Structure 1
């Protein structure tokens, strides 16, 4: 195409200086026209091209995946092409992707993409542009390729727990020792470690193996765990990786796996100003998919959470004693005086634990050097906020309501550890 433009400009300049006759110009243009027409005939027709897309039906947020596109050229002519797949704007878009489709052959094109926002998406289009043999013509076609994709929360921590639970907490020794003596089911015999209860030493196995062995007990299975996920405005605060809701979902799914693996019943309730999702309690690892499909699309609402309404709803739906594990913003929750009335009534039947994410900005302010008046004021206000939060937490904890905070990268570990500790102490 650039060659044609340069040739045309040269002919125009030549005629202007009368170096080239008009007859020569017409002859050259006719030659170019027929060559161009011939080039058009040596390019594939649109109906001679077919396409297929291969991609997973479910992706995890923030994890790269590979998409394959199959371009079949059924014509006798090769062509160079560029394509743009119809992915949503919430995906990373590495387009255009270029390639060459040889005659009567199938070409596989791959590209990597990452989904940044959870939800369900429909992909309907593929935009394909290809050039003729000499590149004088370029054709474009829009192909209807329909696919549906679900973008799930990042399950990396959940998989890590399944592969190696030791990364999340120590099952041996001190953690088990806190369990009440004589409570729970016999699990196995293992080597004695420092911190074990000497009363649980298995003397018969010790004499047989010439090594100190101890009996290990595990909590009774079949307890009820109710996971509450706050989707209110404050859960939209951005963190290093995602926002608070993203981290809460990832931690909630990890606790779900831990509970289901131990034979407990798990239910999930997501809320903001109203109830968004409720999954009734069930046990077994198959229940994980039920929960995942129910909550994968949850988004933050631009409204304050109504703790009173959700606790009232929970009181009607959850009749059996259970561990209420709430993922929310601690500072917001502490100022909900109306919720305290409902919790006082709920704690008579249920055990309550709230887990939030530490405000790292606030913590950094308290540790900052007061180099000037403004820095000193910011440090003072931050310290005041910390004191107010501690005072309010003490008030709630006196009512039997435990509240903890963890760093964003440690939220899942903290949630699983506290769940195991509660189960080991047989508090339910």
Structure 2
């Protein structure tokens, strides 16, 4: 394979595709603003320990998927494989737990890097939108974060969605469930895959999420985490479900839903696409509560909850449901200049129009007038401004509205005001 092509598991987003992404990103930012979230931007790479401690040594991400390298100073650095650990590291480093207003509500757009087998919607460089709320253990926050995630999809026009929720319980509940899983799976240890034999020692809950052993008979009879919730955890989960019901958000409880990261507890959730033809991997978003992560990264005990949403999978879901993304590729104006003097005059005119907020382009190929007009058509220009030698002599510009074909001669020194009025919907003849 040629080294002059994009590396395996990465793609170029060309202008027609980035237009879709820009529309989606703007919608997501507007929704976050409505929910009073603020954007955070963290480095592309971190000290490897941030992810070892923040994601968990027993996870597939840390064990198999990270892009890790040594810099010239011998420090181990890792390209960011997920967003939460970086955000929490920043939260701790900058003492955001000391802010007067709590909880701290953050969102991010960021590329992530995971060495895994590329497939549709799952790349080695993936783009993620995510939110994190740090500083509150109120179950209403859990419901708000789930509501935000659902709103993102619904306001973009998706309908074929399924929300799955579960409770992993607090530390006491998890320990009780952990022991029950060890007791249950230990007799089958030699029948499990090599990964699950390790998980049995390190994090037995993740056996329930194994793709290799999912059809093993022991999976069907595995103890449910919901049977091991203590009174506090049961009450917490009931409150989350009640809040979702009050918001009119439909959900299903799935006791086998576990999150792949070690730090999750209490609420866990996933949003799936049920659109026909979306593909075998239906998960769009995964998230949950993580109480204990800030301590792992050197900060004070601070409860948190968040989710990560794959942008590639979001765009795939929009395509699967045939959601039309509004096109914004119309051009306000295209300037056609014929002759040397007109070419010179166009330079200042274009500069003045742009400085006054008017979108305009011109020909840079030295083409004849007919070819320039064709270019204006291809750009879907609303207006064409024509400058020839005669117009320059008379200090005029010929303005043609493409939709109606109407033309009008406008003094050059009034062209900016004329175009501003036209583009704002006004009528200069009134």
Q: Which structure: greater strand fraction?
A: 1
Higher Rg: 1
Q: Same fold (TM over 0.5)?
A: no
Give the TM-score, by structure 1 length.
0.20
Give the TM-score, by structure 2 length.
0.20
